[in-house]
Amino acid sequence: MGALHEGHLSLVKRSKELCDITIVSIFINPTQFSPSEDLDQYPRDLQKDKTLLLNESVDFLFCPDADEIYPKNFQTYVNVEHVTKEMEGEFRPTHFRGVTTVVNILFNCVNPAYAFFGQKDAQQAAVIKQMVNDLKIPVSIIVCPIIRESDGLAMSSRNIYLSETERREAVVLYKALQMAKKMINKREKKVSFIIAEMISMINEVNLAAVDYIKIVEAGSFDIVDVLEKGSEYYILIACKIGATRLIDNELIKVVR
């Protein structure tokens, strides 16, 4: 959705490694914002975005207007069921319908062989994979690692909203994820205990307000209560720092 940073550019770099032609779409999608969310305030700097993409030797920029994607009398939406119900789907009930609809439209416009998404929006990537599988869309979904600032904060276009104090305190999300990872590496398997410790750490930051912390099976995105050896999981956080809502996650494998 624009306001590009190194996280987005890492997707471009991966595309250029695998593909003959790299196309970047920039479209701030109105259907994935609820009336109370930040559509009008969402950061926009298309000229800067173009410069960054030229520096990466991107072949094409696809930057449609809203009325090209959603013409008058638009009526058709794509809805993925199970994997959209929890986490972001609970707090943003109309969000994923907008995501899957616009991604399906963009796929139909471009017909890519590969599409690259960031792990930071891990549930979004899972929803898109489900849609592609269910609707037999001939595209391979590549999920690329989270790119972080030097102190661990996951890069996000919304980080620009943070004040200097909020920016410092936002690192608590990364610290909580790393604490959970250490607990799991020390053979802690009880999810409720891990989450309670994470919430306790985050609550020490006065400006933080947790929306959710969940641990889900990486393939199905089913919420779990107990971790099993040999399985992969996402630890997922959504938290407001001041007025800015941030998400982050860690992908872990239980090895013992």
Q: Which residues are catalytic?
A: 8
Q: How far apart are the first and last CA of the chain?
A: 40
Hey, what's the torsion of the CAs at 31, 35, 39, 41, to 10 degrees?
180
Answer yes or no: are the C-beta atoms of 19 and 114 closer than 8 Å.
yes
SS (H, E, C) the chain: CCCCCHHHHHHHHHHHHHCCCCEEECCCCHHHCCCCCCCCCCCCCHHHHHHHHHHCCCCEEECCCHHHHCCCCCCCCCCCCHHHCCCHHHHCCCHHHHHHHHHHHHHHHHCCCEEEEEHHHHHHHHHHHHHHHHCCCCCEEEEECCCECCCCCECCHHHHHCCHHHHHHCCHHHHHHHHHHHHHHCCCCEHHHHHHHHHHHHHCCCCEEEEEEEEEECCCCCECCECCCCCEEEEEEEEEECCEEEEEEEEEECCC
- Tokens 């305190």: give the residue: 169
Torsion of CA 86, 88, 91, 97, to 10 degrees: -90
